[in-house]
Chain A
Amino acid sequence: MSVVSMAVTVEPAAAEQQPAGASLARWLRPALGLVLPVVLAAFWEFAVRMGWSNGRLVPPPSVIWNTFADLAASGELAQHALATLWRVACGFVLGVIAGTVAGAITGYSILTFRLLDPTLQGLRAVPSIAWVPLFILWFGIFEASKIILIAVGVFFPVYLGVMGAVLSVDRKIVEVGRVFRLSGFAMVRRILLPAVMPAYVISLRAGLGLGWMFVLAAEFLGASTGLGFLLIDGQQLGKPAQIVAAIVAFAILGKASDWLIVLVASPFLRWQDVVARR
């Protein structure tokens, strides 16, 4: 049996001491995030009702809500939201696969890095709008060009993130793998992959954010469906409420998709040693 004298060993504080009132705070925390938008919206509604602003250029929440309701009733909201969502999802998947593979290879092999990275960094500097005319020329004005544009947007943050993460894997941990004689594949699966996971998830979220930006660029030029189309349509028909409604829809869907990534990834990241649980 063990001869360790437990009295001498210094024990750390019991794992994760919860501050007082923590069980209440758990559901309250996400609600805190809503306080600011709700307060601002309430204030604006109040301001328009009081006549401080005519509420035409910046419609009050009640008008925006009505616009939403109309769009939902006519089925247009679902149609446009789904069109945009579909494009973002396809572009995201393509961009993530390409970015992950490219980042992993350039992170692992210095020759590939020297060959590929300068070109990729140059391409990264090209602003999104600049790609639109070229892609329309190459891939037409329908879905393909839009999805590829989004994929390009998603690719770069994922590529950078994966490459950076692979390059900064702790050598000391890799040596543990070497001491246990892990084969190349086992080293990647058991050490490199878990080690890069936190940075990878962050790069996925950054890629998704850019994907939402790029879908707007794509839908601005040559789309007949989608939230971006709704936005431009609102501008051309002089319906500011529709513009704001489209923007709000973007914000909600964008936030929801980001939250989805965090949710799916969180069981894989419970081990992280972080300063404070967010």
Chain B
Amino acid sequence: MLVLDRVGKTYPNRVHALDGISLEVALGEIVVVIGGSGCGKSTMLRAISGLDTPTQGKVVLDGTVITAPHEQIGMVFQEPRLLPWLCVADNVGFGLGHYPAEERTERVASALDRVGLSEKARMWPRELSGGQAQRVAIARALVPRPEVLLLDEPFSALDAFTRADLQDHLLDLWADAKPTLVMVTHDVEEAIVLADRIVVMRPHPGRIYEEIGCDLPRPRDRQSAAFDFVKRRVLAALDRSLERTVVTDDGETKAAAGGGMWW
């Protein structure tokens, strides 16, 4: 289980990015964090990954306090960040450096097959499209079979079609070993497609505002009424968290439930 125990982060320039974040994520759960800009969601993710350390509180995975990158925690960034001097297969196998060669080749081949890029195994990263590169990055993160996978807005740099594609793909990959997923996004629909639980954060300083559960059966239909209902809940929570309101024709003030791209 992944536990955030009153995690806070204040930068040396006195910017108070996170304040008292407490969260418990069960094994195999998919938690998606969403919030206005400056709400500290990426900071929180980096604290979980061990890349940055919290200035208050602690992150605990299965009883171990996380202070540095951990074997059981993998990460996918907004850019694919593939190593340009390694071919696709070598990139995917990067985290398996200390494994025997045979096992490494076998795992890499099966991972590439899983993401549908087997024919691209010997190509250079510069020859891949954005979506393909991100698929390689996800394969690279999953190949060491970590217990937790962190994703920091992994699809925000991609077009809408590729994004929807990769969301389905991620769920498919997740179903293999069911790692715990903690993902940050600003796309509300993406959050609802993927999450068991949606955590809405508010900025200045970053705090958890509301948690919205989502137990719709997968695969989730983006057009269904149930989906739309959850979407309205999330959008309303976001508006309230940013204290955005709109006055309706009847004169009542309510949270502005805007469109899909709200930030």
On A, residues with C-beta under 8 Å from B are 1-6, 8-12, 15-16, 172-173, 175-176, 178-181, 186, 190-191, 194-195, 197, 270-273
Find A273's partner among B51, B71, B97, B126 (CB 8 Å cutoff).
B126
- In the complex, whether B114 has a CB less than 8 A from a CB of chain A is yes
Assembled-state Cα–Cα distance A2/B168 (Å): 10
User: Binary interface profile of B, 74-100, with partner A (CB < 8 Å = 1, else 0)?
Assistant: 110101010111110000001101000
Please indicate the chain A residues that have their CB under 8 angstroms from the CB of B27 in the complex. none
Beyond A9-B162, A9-B165, A179-B49, is A2–B113 a contact (Cβ under 8 Å)? Answer: yes
Q: Which residue of B lies closest to A174 (CB)?
A: B81
Given A2-B114, A271-B126, 9 additional A-B pairs, CB 8 A: A173-B83, A175-B51, A175-B81, A178-B69, A179-B74, A180-B94, A195-B85, A272-B126, A273-B124
Is B123 an interface position by the 8 A CB rule? yes
A11 and B129 in contact (CB under 8 A), knowing A2-B114, A191-B83? yes
Q: Is B116 in contact with A6, judged by CB distance below 8 angstroms?
A: yes
Closest A residue to B77 by CB, please name it.
A172
Could you tell me the distance between the alpha carbons of A180 and B129 in the complex, rounded to whole angstroms? 24
C-alpha spacing A178/B50, complex, angstroms = 9
Q: How far is the CA of A181 from the CA of B123 in the complex (A)?
A: 26
- Per a CB cutoff under 8 Å, which of B69, B161, B162, B168 touches A181? B69
CB contact under 8 A between A179 and B51, given known A12-B128, A186-B97: yes
The distance in angstroms between the C-alpha atoms of A179 and B131, with both chains bound, is: 22
Chain B residues near A180: list those with CB within 8 A: 69, 94-95, 97
- Contact with B71, one of A4, A173, A181 (Cβ below 8 angstroms): A181
Contacting pair A176 B162 (CB below 8 A):
no
B115 at the interface (CB under 8 A from A): yes
**Measured CA separation A190–B135 after assembly (Å):** 22
With CB as the reference atom, state the residue of chain A lying closest to B46.
A175
The answer, yes or no, to whether B172 is at the interface (CB within 8 Å) is: yes
- From known contacts A3-B168, A180-B94, A180-B95, infer whether A8 and B161 are also in contact, taking CB-CB under 8 Å: yes
